[in-house]
Amino acid sequence: MNTLFELSEKLKKREISSLELTKAYIGRIDEKNPLLNAVVHKTYDKALALAERADKRLAEGNAPLLCGIPVLLKDNICSEGDLTTCCSKMLSGYRPPYDATAWKRLEEQGMVLLGKTNMDEFAFGSTSETSCYGAPKNPVDPSFITGGSSGGSAAAVSAGFAPVALGSDTGGSVRQPASFCGVVGLKPTYGAVSRYGLIAYASSFDQIGVFAGSVKEAGVLFGAIRGTDSHDMTTCAGFYSAGKRQDGELSAASAGRRLKLAIVRELSDGIDEDVKNTLERARAYFSGTGAEIAEVSIPSLVSALPAYYIIACAEASSNLGRYDGVRYGHRAEGAASFEELAVKSRNEGFGDEVKRRIMLGTYVLSGGYYDAWYRKACEVRETVARGFLKTFEKYDVILAPTSPFIVPRFGEKRGAADLYRADMCTAPANLSGLPAISVPSGTDRNGMPIGLQIIGNRFDEETVLFAAEKLEQGLKPQHDTWGGYAC
């Protein structure tokens, strides 16, 4: 198994060319993707051209660490001229005329784009089953789901279709599928990474995140995409130190830290027994390393999930109003009026879950309900954020489950409420704009992965990554990455 760092070293020593590496990953995708359905749009011609460009850069010397390394993007992250459909019939055939800032920064580093990955339609879901292309399957065992909404990216890294991938996280859509597929998934601080070119779901929550086989690899990819952007005024330089070098190693100051961790009662109540056991093993491990660890309470978190769904659906209703059959998206045939055109286009273009969330959002924004629901949810959001800030006055990070339950099988009966509950442990970080990472930490009764989550203070990704590396060293299952790498 080759890590991103090993592949980079081979490329720089000219033991393998980027073109050869890219062809190897293309071969693996073509071989395994018909079963897993993780990649929905292939950009092989672009990949080969980018690989040739990377080889010229490598031959000149002093190329960045990521130069020549293949990557995959979630199907809601724009790249110029490439199909980008949010896995929805509404955007069938859409090819954006511009690059997302996150992808542009990776391209400037010399990375090679292999294609776009499967996802829940418009990122509305926690299983990736709402995709118009059909659900991706879990590489660990294809009878199980990948999680969502970035299920294709998680499955692709797990299966070795690329060493790293980008996804988006609105309420847990990077961390939860990372947990289910046995890979690392990082959601940065809101504002740390530009959202320009990320097709919007809920604009005050959406954040581009990264998938990788290890915490160090995730940290390197995050370092390449973070930073301010004139196209996205919500981006902020933050308060980053030089604690992470390009090779992913921690600074001496960070490496010598004694961690203070909190386990928040409201994030660990009502979880599956296997998840609870994994959390207890992590508690024991950190205690054994000399870290200070204690159980705390943030009472406002009992209202975090409903507040998240009220605000997220309201923002989704607003963001998706543009798809009316005239300005953007699918246009229905045979409509006699604008109203009929909008209704027919949306009925034909949107799936059931998208329609459900648009209707929920429209309801809470409507006259007579705005104050009762939306405004109250915003007040809860502020209370939750204050609760986290108070906790971080005493503790460095929070240790929590990523998912409250183990990986479900396809065909298990799950209602809408069950799907929304999947975000119980992850959505509070989005509600507060906090960085969080899921790390493979064990297996369940079915032999499927269990991830645990490290949540940190705003713009303190360095501490989050430091704690995550500690967790990875202590609890990572003693076997190779599930699918292995292509080379």
- Distance separating alpha carbons of residues 49 and 175, to the nearest angstrom: 32
Catalytic residue among 32, 46, 74, 216: 74
Torsion of CA 118, 121, 126, 127, to 10 degrees: -50
Give catalytic status of residue 214 as yes or no. Answer: no
- Are residue 78 and residue 227 in the same domain, yes or no? yes
Give catalytic status of residue 432 as yes or no. Answer: no
CB 4 within 8 A of CB 217: yes
- Are residue 172 and residue 314 in the same domain, yes or no? no
**183 domain residue, yes or no:** yes
- Are residue 425 and residue 330 in the same domain, yes or no? no
- Are residue 352 and residue 401 in the same domain, yes or no? no
**147 domain residue, yes or no:** yes
In order, the DSSP letters of 66-121 are TTT-EEEEETTB--TTS---TT-GGGTT---SS--HHHHHHHHTT-EEEEEE--SG
pLDDT along the chain (487 residues), means of 10: 91 97 98 98 98 98 96 98 98 98 98 98 96 98 97 98 98 98 98 98 98 98 97 83 49 67 96 97 97 97 97 96 93 94 96 95 91 95 98 98 97 77 96 98 97 97 97 75 39
Tally of domains in the chain = 2
- Are residue 51 and residue 164 in the same domain, yes or no? yes
On whether the pTM is more than 0.85, the answer is: yes
**372 domain residue, yes or no:** no
Give catalytic status of residue 149 as yes or no. Answer: yes
Catalytic residue among 149, 158, 403, 432: 149
**118 domain residue, yes or no:** yes
- Are residue 348 and residue 440 in the same domain, yes or no? no
User: Which helix (H) or strand (E) element contains residue 262?
Assistant: strand 260-264
Catalytic residue among 173, 345, 403, 441: 173
Q: Which of 362, 379, 404 is the last residue of a domain?
A: 362
**49 domain residue, yes or no:** yes
- Are residue 144 and residue 253 in the same domain, yes or no? yes
Q: Provide the domain limits for residue 470.
A: 4-260+393-475
